[in-house]
A and B are shown apart, each in its own frame.
Chain A
Amino acid sequence: MWRIILVLVIFMVGWVGFLHQPLAQGKFIVLQSTTSTANSGLLDYLLPIFERETGITVHVVAVGSGQAIRNAMNGDGDVILVHARQDEDKFVADGFGVQRWDVMYNDFIIVGPRQDPAMVRGMEDAAAAFKKIALSKVPFISRGDDSGTHKMEMSLWRIAGMDPTQASGQWYRESGSSMGATINIAVETQGYLVSDRGTWISFKNKGDLEVLVEGNRTLYNPYGIILVNPKKHPHVKAQEGQVFIDWMVGAKGQKVIEEFKVNGESLFFPNATKK
């Protein structure tokens, strides 16, 4: 009987190996990306063009910026595309990344119910708007997941001189989920939140939420692209990864980013300094 089991196990392992094989072939890189670039559809639009031109397939793992950086620190990825400026600089300074490149930007917006119970519509100062929301104790839905958006939101609270986490579970609600899931919650609870513009424009379940505050300097949202350092993780596909970065910050990639529109609106604005 044990022989039968042995044969079956070998067969099973072989089968899995067979399934595994073709997938590992061909040139590919793993891109640890923030969710906004993936969920907004930018990468779906941009990557096929890149793949056609270079023959390199890009496998996108879309997670929050914080997790993307942590995964890359573990060596699980070749390139990261994130928006968390301080963490990006630290990532490079600690030797995990080779160099940070500017690639594009958009901006954050404060979204809330159309009736606007906290009366922040049209305010110039994002931090002041935060203060008003806190004082009126209307629901505010935070990402609460250490993502780029979450970090930006926390820095706004710091500027406003407030610590909303003390009201956590009351009017301040940390979803601990993706941007989309957080918007879904805000739609149902008539809450306020911070979103990146890309995700918001392409989001399909807006309910009666609207953009209430935008255009402030503090809401600037730059995206960076970094090659994971092959000196830290020798298996990193540095050559292919660099091809991707060069393409993204190069004329072609920048043009494609600019061309990408949802409902006629640009979601990302190229700002690479190279070339």
Chain B
Amino acid sequence: MKDVCLDVEGKRLIDRVSLTLFPETISLFMGPSGAGKSLLLRLLHGLLSPSRGSITWAGRVLDDRMRKRQAMVFQNPVMLNRSVLANLTFVLRLVDNNHPHVAMELLERVALRQHARQPAMELSGGERQRLAIAKALAVQPEVLFLDEAMSHLDPPSVTLIEELILQQQRQGIKVIMVSHDLGQIQRLADEIFFVHQGQLVEHAVAQTFFANPQSFPAQLFLQSQSWSKTFYQE
């Protein structure tokens, strides 16, 4: 279980962000492009190290042992140039859990079983991202990061992945994600962190946030989003 303390003090990109995350919920970072949401995710996962400040997980400094209990899905999934199954077994081997039935079970869960022997490079965008999810799940993480993992995906893939995320969360896994899709945010998020120009400007429970955003940038952002949505619908 994670009691997460985050205290980042960066130069310009991330500006004195302090926050605490609690287990078993879906925390969602939102904000305009370039606000630093993805950077925050990478900092939390230890892909970047803070230039100032410190990040601790359950009171301990983030190290490889801790990171092995986390997994991340990126916006653009990176595949190895081999079969779907081989991509998955590569991860399974890393965590010493390489049994054929485990791999096939995972592929089943992301509806890729029939593609197991196909080269991963030939998959569609949605299929790739599903494979990336399977790879993340293969780690059996306690914390799952998703960095705009569902942008530009086909609706069935999005639905499937959303279901998997909720399922993980119900199993007690902490989910930390970045998303642009307001509908999706409302469907999934327990709590919202609103990031603007490298600063954390608002933190609220999801319903509260949408009903009554406190900070000015968040109000502006929600307005523009809903406005553009109506604009496109007409």
A and B touch in the complex (CB under 8 A): no
